[in-house]
Structure formats: C-alpha cells, structure tokens
Amino acid sequence: MAKTALTDHAIHNTLAVRWSPYSFSNQPVARADLAALFEAARWAPSSYNEQPWRYIVGMADADGDDDTHDRILKVLAEPNQAWARHVPVLALGVVTHEFAASGQTNKAAIHDLGLASGNLVVEATTRGLSVHQMIGLDAAAAAKSFDVPDGSEVLTALAIGYADRGPSADPEFRKRDSKPRSRNSIGEFVFSGRYGQSALF
C-alpha cells in the first residue's frame, strides 16, 4: 500500500513515505534495528543537553519471563489494544520534568521527548519499519506497573513493527490504513507579521 504524501514542496522521501499504520505483521524486529532506533533518539536535540526522554520497551518475542510487552499492552486505551496487540514491539515514552542538577522545571522536556521520538520514527522509516504513536493510555497505571519515579511521567506509547499490507490484515484496520493522507497547508500554520497572517512562500 503506497501512502506517499502529495507534498506542495519537495521534501526528503523518508518524510514523504512515513505514515502510521494500524495493521502490523507479526514479523519480529531485529534487535540491531531496534537498537538503531533508540540510537537515533539518543542524538535528538535537547535543551541544555538534559535528554529528558526515557523509553520502556517490550518485545513480543522476548526470551524468559519478560512480560513487558503484555504489561504495556494492558495500560493502553482499549481501542488501541485492539490493534496494538499484534505489534511485535511496544514502548512507552516517559518524560522527566525537572533538570537533574537544579531540580528546576524543564519547560522543554515534553518538546524534547517529541524530538527524540521524531528521530526514532525517521530512523525506523529508513529501515522499512513503521511506528504508530499513541497518547491513549492510562498513564497512572503505567507508572505504577513500571515503578516510574516521581517527577517523571508516562506520556506516550509507540508501536513498532512492519506494516501489514496483505489480505490477511484485519478488514477494519485495513480500511483505516487505506484512507488518504492529508495535512493543513503551510499557510494555515506558518505566519508572518502577526498570528494568523499567512507567510508567503
């Protein structure tokens, strides 16, 4: 299924082909690829180099008694559980709200978690992987399940794997995935002179 964005201005192909599927195959993600995704997150821009992002990762094919994947799945909102249960890698994005040295509030913390996850998504796309980010989760239950300390917050979840474009995909989710991509035009969110006045490109 081709989902390349119909852009008004030329952009890098990696960004144009990135999209967030609901249908994932059960093909496992190689640990080397997964490590590269978090290496990309590691090198995201960060205010004062605080790096306030943390990730809790669960793999469906994890060895031994590692039930992290199942525990992450359980804290997702029910509509997300319906499709995310089939995804081989689930992760939680955690943000630390205070600077480690001073204890002062880091106003850029959530922004920086977003930058780190953005890097992760781009790296995933270059490797043929897909990432679907979610805000629908029980943050309090997640914090309790994984002993997240005070001052840190479970903010997002990420499903990581390979998009399932075949006929075996769930019809409901395949229908969602077939919808065309759309975005507001640049003029609707890039301003000049005053707020709401479109910048001209």
- How many angstroms separate the CA atoms of 88 and 24, rounded? 8
pLDDT at 177: 82
The full DSSP string for 121-175 is: HHHHHHTT-EEEEE--B-HHHHHHHTTPPTTEEEEEEEEEE-B--STTS-HHHHH
Residue 10 counted as domain residue: no
Over residues 116-136, the mean pLDDT reads: 98
Backbone CA torsion sign across 14, 25, 135, 152: negative
pLDDT in tens, 2-52: 689 999 999 999 999 999 999 999 999 999 999 999 999 999 999 999 999
Number of domains the chain contains: 1
pLDDT at 171: 77
pLDDT in tens, 91-106: 999 999 999 999 999 9
104: burial class by Cβ within 10 Å (0-12, 13-18, 19+)?
Answer: exposed
pLDDT at 1: 59
Copy the structure tokens of residue 171: 């019809």
Residue 119 counted as domain residue: yes
pLDDT at 173: 83
Residue 122 counted as domain residue: yes
Task: Tell me whether strands 130-134 and 53-59 are parallel, antiparallel or unpaired.
Answer: unpaired
CATH number of the domain encompassing residue 144: 3.40.109.10
Residue 166 counted as domain residue: yes
Nearest CA among 9, 30, 22 for reference residue 128? 30
Residue 93 counted as domain residue: yes
pLDDT at 93: 98
pLDDT in tens, 165-198: 776 667 788 788 888 899 999 999 999 999 999 9
Domain containing residue 159: 20-180
Residue 196 counted as domain residue: no
Residue 6 counted as domain residue: no
Residue 200 counted as domain residue: no
pLDDT in tens, 142-169: 999 999 999 999 999 999 999 987 766 6
- Cβ(120)–Cβ(54) under 8 Å? no
